[in-house]
Amino acid sequence: MTVRAGREFLALPGPTTMPDEVLQAMHRPALDIYSQQMIDLSDGLHRDLGKLFATTGKCYIYIANGHGAWEAVLSNVLSRGDKLLVLESGRFAVGWGHAAGLMGAEVEVLKGDWRRAVRPEEVEARLRADKDHTIKAIVVAQVDTASGVQNDIEAIGKAIRASGHPALYMVDTVASLGCMPFEMDEWGIDVAMSGSQKGLMTPPGLGFVAANERAQAVHKTANMRTPYWDWSEREGTEHYRRYAGTAPVHLLFALRQAIDMLNAEGLENAFRRHELLGEAVRRAVGAWTEGQVLGFNIAEPSERSNTVTTVTVSGGHDPKKLQTYCKEKCGVVLGTGIGDLQGQAFRIAHMGHVNAPMVLGTLGVIEVGLNALRIPHGKGGLEAAASWLGDNVAA
């Protein structure tokens, strides 16, 4: 017997739930890619991406996932043998660095910890020690979707500037753009990248990059450039060159709709919604931890992300069984533990197109699973989430 008829609910951190309006926006013929309508659609999206990243720098749209956008960034600003400093706080910045290594860069990982955020003072100390400026660029993820950490990108930017080091500051916002504040120009970020399928509620398949003038200057002499990713190749009067070929018309329609929905809600409201729902999840998990088996992966409460919560499972209990139960019996797909946390955690996504019933429903299903599998946990998680929302979403 199951209780899972109907639509399966994705509570894993990507791809996330897409609004029906976004799905419907794609249900139409392709555009003439040389038409004014196409140019207007595309120009509008490039402009709006600049607003989302909060930059006056140039924006690029690639037919790619996040891994593609990583490569886009690296190939445009690095030269073979350049040193890249990776700020570790989980899996994703390290993955970005891994790609750079395969492309011919020298990669140094500033050793972090899967249980905490990047420490800005450690970044500053490392940069001050690099007196000859051998480090050419620094990469970090705003939210690491594996560990569930939220890094203080503004503080890291200040630390980089305080060191006086000229390395490019490059930030992965795949699991955060549209869900929490991000101020590319104000925080001193030179390059930012993201993807369509998480906070931006759009089908997988679009990668976004924004680059300021400093990055554009480095780009001029970078020697890892290849035609598809190359920013310079995307200049020029013919609009199609911005896509190095045929534009992904339907994904652009979808993105248009998703950004319109974000703007209609108001970006600040969307950030606040993520904060409220993220805290609701944390209230529930907090109650569960009293059973001594479940725990927050991120030790420090202020470093826990508003878009994903990574819950550790100990005492010989298998998180994969919980994940399978929730999916097969109840139709809710949780994220599993990945990387260092494989087999030791599950993840609850609360990013993008999420609302109270989705989050409370997910938390309720997890409680069903914990009960069914006899995994010890403190009672009252769902109630704690509901009370917190009731106290904080004013009547």
Ligand X SMILES: *Cc1c(COP(=O)(O)O)cnc(C)c1O
Q: How far is the CB of 246 from ligand X (least distance, A)?
A: 21
The smaller minimum CB distance to ligand X, of residues 14 and 203, is found at 14
The contact mask relative to ligand X for 132-161 (x = CB under 6 A, - = no) is ---------x-x-x----------------
The contact mask relative to ligand X for 30-59 (x = CB under 6 A, - = no) is ------------------------------
Report the chain's terminal Cα–Cα distance, integer Å.
39
**Distance (Å, whole) CA 123 – CA 137:** 12
**Distance (Å, whole) CA 156 – CA 165:** 13
Q: CA nearest 253: which of 17, 22, 20, 14?
A: 22
The contact mask relative to ligand X for 189-228 (x = CB under 6 A, - = no) is ------x---------------------------------
Binders of ligand X among 3-22, rule CB under 6 A? 14
**Distance (Å, whole) CA 24 – CA 97:** 37
Q: Which of 57, 66, 157, 203 binds ligand X (CB under 6 A)?
A: 66
Binders of ligand X among 77-96, rule CB under 6 A? 92
Q: How far is the CB of 29 from ligand X (least distance, A)?
A: 27
The smaller minimum CB distance to ligand X, of residues 73 and 366, is found at 73
**Distance (Å, whole) CA 122 – CA 85:** 12
**Distance (Å, whole) CA 50 – CA 54:** 6
Q: How far is the CB of 66 from ligand X (least distance, A)?
A: 2
The contact mask relative to ligand X for 176-195 (x = CB under 6 A, - = no) is -------------------x
Q: Which two tokens stand for residue 323?
A: 């994940």
Question: Binding to ligand X by residue 61, rule CB under 6 A?
Answer: no
For residue 333, the SS3 value is strand
Q: CA nearest 347: which of 145, 88, 198, 199?
A: 145
Question: Binding to ligand X by residue 175, rule CB under 6 A?
Answer: yes
58 forms beta bridges with 211
Q: Which of 65, 202, 306, 362 binds ligand X (CB under 6 A)?
A: 65
Question: Binding to ligand X by residue 98, rule CB under 6 A?
Answer: no
Q: Which of 11, 86, 156, 174 binds ligand X (CB under 6 A)?
A: 174
Q: How far is the CB of 37 from ligand X (least distance, A)?
A: 28
Q: How far is the CB of 199 from ligand X (least distance, A)?
A: 10
User: What are the contacts of 365-369 at 24+ separation with CB within 8 A?
Assistant: 365/326, 365/330, 365/331, 365/332, 366/284, 366/322, 366/326, 366/332, 366/334, 368/326, 368/329, 368/330, 369/322, 369/325, 369/326, 369/329, 369/330
How big is the CA angle at 162 (ends 157 and 168), to the nearest 5 degrees? 50
**Distance (Å, whole) CA 284 – CA 288:** 6
Rule CB under 6 A: which residues touch ligand X? 14, 65-67, 92, 141, 143, 145, 172, 174-175, 195
